[in-house]
Amino acid sequence: MTVEKNIRFFSVAALYNKIKTMKIHNMTIKGVTMQRLMELLKKPWFLGSLVVVFVAVVLWNIPIEKRKYGLSQGSLVTDYTGLLPQRVERIVKAENRQDLQRIVKEANKDGQKISVAGLQHSQGGHTYYKDGVVLDMRTFNRILEIDEQQKTIRVEAGASWEDVQEAIQPHGLALKVTQSQSIFTIGGSLSVNAHGRDIRFGSMAETVKEMTLLTPSGEIKTITRDDPDDWMKYVFGGYGLFGVILDVTLELTENDIYTIHTEQLKTDQYETYFNELLTHRNTAMHYARVSVAPSTFLDEMVVVNYDYTEKQDHKTVLKKEQGVRLSKIALDVGRQGGALEDLFWGTQKLYIGSLDGKEITRNNVMRSESTFMEYTKPGRVEVLQEFFVPIHAYGDYINDLKQIIPSNDRSEDFKVHNITVRYAAKDEVTTLNYAKEDMLGLVVLIQHGLKEDEIANATTLIQNWTRLTLEHGGTYYLPYYRYQTKKQFRDSYPGWEEFVEEKLRKDPNSVFQNMFYEHYLK
């Protein structure tokens, strides 16, 4: 017993001593490390390196300044470009149907004017009206139902494509038609009948199975495709003038995996290339860029195709914005014009070429980056315009365009930074229809000054551009700033008279108003 006790005592003591020695050892190690660190901190080269590393980290993390725009009760309301500031009477956060219905009914009695706002990426005062009430739909954004069998989603109209993608991605589903980014609301997108990279599913309006609408008289109606009153014809591409879209049921498709295929072309080859792509190739989505760099101005193009692989995806996560800073730096370089714009074009070609052969999901094709486009220089603005021409007119149109836009805009006030080409399928649904046949849309990123003469110069150039587009049987897109004349609007949209007549019939008290309507249609 005693021996055993002694043994136990000794082993405990030995263990204790060991732990103690280890602790001392650890402390010595810690002490030595601390001492080394302190020594290091005294070395100017070490402190200098610390500064250099820290500065690099800060540089990389300087946030990109975002445009300041939006709904504000106290000051003036603006949309994306801030070009049309206006005072409104009230902003109502949309939360439930009954409240919205009450507001519309009251407006019919007291003459109040109502506008509808989504994420306000439209640029011509489409979402507000002087002294009016703005319904801010962003809070009306619930996902109501996903039917995996039928491949449909029912969702409130204030939800963004981002919200929808997050909800359907785990089910292996994807949208049929969206813009190339996911930063817009569904209501806002349908009200302009937006288009994007898809080349197989027709227009966005065609992907809606059903919609719940709060009509201008304050009724809540369920509208289907065979609706005898043709509400869809006026609400889609109706710029918020035919009531409030409350929710929609959208057709979905599989979240396919595509292989990216990229190519460089001459502009005069594109028409044939695209027709071939549309009829024969195994391509689901597509877009192209045209050079606006001086030495290859409107001569070179790069195309990006997303080809079917027969594979589908349930797992790949939705991509976040990537490489924003580098893209912003590259675009900023291009913004300088001249040789730097050539450099930017070269970089774009390299970058796009590097994507060749990679795989990507359908959902991820529909959510490209947008933050890198932010531009906040005081006294200047960057705007978008989009011109549509029939596919068969593309080659001649681009040739003639060279006479209108200077190839080197380095010392010009009006600068064209980017032209992206997309397909807009013939639309048989909407009244203000920009695609009476299959069209190619040229999305143009333009920068100009805000002085009176600079705006006048931009207006003249854009009107000339629109004139040329009309001469080639084309149209221009309406969500953007209204540089075009009233005549150009009417020539582009011969359905305007029918639109106005129906507006007066469906909204006899002219409850739904906005600055776009006032400018072009009143």
Partner 1 sequence: MNSKSVRYLPLVVTVGQVVIFPYYIIWLKQVSLTFTLFAWFFATFSFSAAWGYRIYQTKKNKEQSYVFIIYAGMGIVYVLIGLIKNSYEYLPYIVLPLQVTLGLLQGYFRAWHSEQDTYHLHAVHHYLIVGFMMIGFSFTRIISPVVFIAIFGLLLCLCGFWDFIRRGKLSEPKKV
157 binds, among ligand FAD, partner 1, none (CB under 5 to 8 A by kind): ligand FAD
Q: Which tokens belong to 202?
A: 């027709």
337 binds, among ligand FAD, partner 1, none (CB under 5 to 8 A by kind): none
Q: Answer for the pair 473, 394: CB distance below 8 angstroms, yes or no.
A: no
Site for partner 1 in 369-388 (CB under 8 A): 375-378
Q: Does 38 bind partner 1 (CB under 8 A)?
A: no
Q: Does 368 bind ligand FAD (CB under 6 A)?
A: no
- Give the nearest distance from C-beta 332 to partner 1 in angstroms: 8
Which phi and psi (to 5°) does residue 178 adopt?
Answer: -145, 175
Sequence letter at residue 344 = F
Q: Which of 426, 446, 445 is nearest to 437 (CA)?
A: 426
Identified binder of ligand FAD from the candidate list 125, 172, 196, 337, rule CB under 6 A: 196
Sequence letter at residue 68 = K
Q: How far apart are CA 132 and CA 89, in angstroms?
A: 5
397 binds, among partner 1, ligand FAD, none (CB under 5 to 8 A by kind): none
- Report the SS3 class of residue 283: strand
Q: Which tokens belong to 243?
A: 């009531």
Report the C-alpha dihedral over residues 342, 345, 347, 351, rounded to 10 degrees. -170
The count of C-alpha atoms lying within 13 angstroms of the C-alpha of 301, restricted to the half-sphere facing its C-beta, is 24
Q: How far apart are CA 89 and CA 113, in angstroms?
A: 10
Q: Does 58 bind partner 1 (CB under 8 A)?
A: yes
Residue 322: exposure state from Cβ atoms within 10 A (0-12, 13-18, ≥19): exposed
Identified binder of ligand FAD from the candidate list 269, 275, 347, 370, rule CB under 6 A: 370
For partner 1, the closer of residues 50 and 355 by Cβ is 50
Q: Which of 280, 297, 246 is nearest to 95 (CA)?
A: 246
- Report the SS3 class of residue 84: coil
The count of C-alpha atoms lying within 13 angstroms of the C-alpha of 25, restricted to the half-sphere facing its C-beta, is 6
- Give the nearest distance from C-beta 270 to ligand FAD in angstroms: 19
Q: Does 191 bind ligand FAD (CB under 6 A)?
A: yes
Q: Does 184 bind ligand FAD (CB under 6 A)?
A: yes
Q: Does 317 bind partner 1 (CB under 8 A)?
A: no
Cα 516 to chain centroid distance, Å, stands at 20
User: Which residue is it, tokens 């028409």?
Assistant: 271
Identified binder of partner 1 from the candidate list 47, 76, 144, 456, rule CB under 8 A: 47
Q: How far apart are CA 281 and CA 305, in angstroms?
A: 10
Binding mask 52-81 for ligand FAD (x = CB under 6 A): ----------------------------x-
Q: Does 188 bind ligand FAD (CB under 6 A)?
A: yes
- Give the nearest distance from C-beta 61 to partner 1 in angstroms: 8
Q: Does 75 bind partner 1 (CB under 8 A)?
A: no
Q: Which of 225, 181, 226, 185 is nearest to 205 (CA)?
A: 225
Q: Does 189 bind ligand FAD (CB under 6 A)?
A: yes
Q: How far apart are CA 385 and CA 443, in angstroms?
A: 6
Identified binder of partner 1 from the candidate list 38, 59, 60, 279, rule CB under 8 A: 59
For ligand FAD, the closer of residues 124 and 294 by Cβ is 124
CA distance readout (Å), 396 to 54, 86, 461, 468, 472: 54, 41, 19, 11, 8
126 binds, among ligand FAD, partner 1, none (CB under 5 to 8 A by kind): ligand FAD
Q: How far apart are CA 415 and CA 431, in angstroms?
A: 33
- Give the nearest distance from C-beta 456 to partner 1 in angstroms: 24
For partner 1, the closer of residues 8 and 66 by Cβ is 66
Stretch that binds partner 1, among 49-57, 77-85, 394-402, 429-437 (CB under 8 A): 49-57
- Give the nearest distance from C-beta 340 to partner 1 in angstroms: 15
CA distance readout (Å), 15 to 3, 7, 23: 18, 12, 12
- Give the nearest distance from C-beta 51 to partner 1 in angstroms: 5
Q: Which of 123, 216, 113, 241 is nearest to 521 (CA)?
A: 241
40 binds, among partner 1, ligand FAD, none (CB under 5 to 8 A by kind): none
- Give the nearest distance from C-beta 48 to partner 1 in angstroms: 5
Identified binder of ligand FAD from the candidate list 306, 479, 484, 502, rule CB under 6 A: 479
User: Which residue is it, tokens 């909204």?
Assistant: 507
384 binds, among partner 1, ligand FAD, none (CB under 5 to 8 A by kind): ligand FAD
Q: How far apart are CA 143 and CA 157, in angstroms?
A: 9
Site for partner 1 in 389-418 (CB under 8 A): none
User: Which residue is it, tokens 């109501």?
Assistant: 144
Identified binder of partner 1 from the candidate list 1, 3, 38, 62, rule CB under 8 A: 62
120 binds, among ligand FAD, partner 1, none (CB under 5 to 8 A by kind): ligand FAD
Count of positions on this chain that bind partner 1 (CB under 8 A): 20
Q: Which tokens belong to 360?
A: 């990507």
Chain contacts with ligand FAD (rule: CB under 6 A) = 80, 115-122, 126-127, 137, 157, 179-181, 184-185, 187-189, 191-192, 194-196, 239-240, 244-245, 370, 373, 384, 479, 514
Chain contacts with partner 1 (rule: CB under 8 A) = 41-44, 47-48, 50-51, 54-55, 58-59, 61-63, 65, 375-378
